[in-house]
């Protein structure tokens, strides 16, 4: 299923979370923080500063979370994105 955000919206998949600490302890789901890093899957027509495939950092409590085909995604406004990671 394809999804195209409108105007200044960005469609983001969450980055993989670390399941255990460096010392080997597993982190339970209840203790995990909300992810703040993701990959841009699609962008709206008004978004000029990002491109598909960029890895971004966004505000912890921003956007709208949706689930499609068993995978969680986030729809953000471009202004909620804090920065882009460079390779």
Domains in the chain, please, with CATH?
1-14+34-87 (2.30.33.40)
Render the burial of 33-50: b for 16+ CB within 10 Å, e for the rest.
eeeeebbbbbbbeebeeb
pLDDT exceeds cutoff 70 at 19: no
pLDDT digit string, tens, across residues 40-66: 999 999 999 999 999 999 988 889 999
Distances (CA, A) of 17 to 26, 47, 52, 79: 12, 27, 21, 24
- At residue 83 the predicted structure's pLDDT band, cuts being 50, 70 and 90, is very high
Share the mean pLDDT of the chain. 86
pTM of the model: 0.78
Give residue 56's pLDDT: 95
Residue 16 C-alpha from the chain's centroid: 10
At residue 31, the pLDDT reads 57
């Amino acid at each position: 299923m394809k999804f195209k955000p409108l105007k200044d919206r960005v469609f983001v998949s969450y980055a993989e979370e670390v399941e255990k600490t460096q010392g080997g302890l597993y982190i339970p789901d209840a203790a995990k923080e909300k992810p703040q890093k993701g990959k841009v899957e699609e962008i709206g027509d008004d978004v000029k500063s990002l491109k598909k495939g960029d890895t971004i950092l966004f505000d912890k409590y921003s956007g709208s979370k949706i689930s499609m085909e068993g995978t969680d995604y986030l729809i953000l406004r471009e202004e909620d994105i804090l920065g882009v990671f460079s390779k």
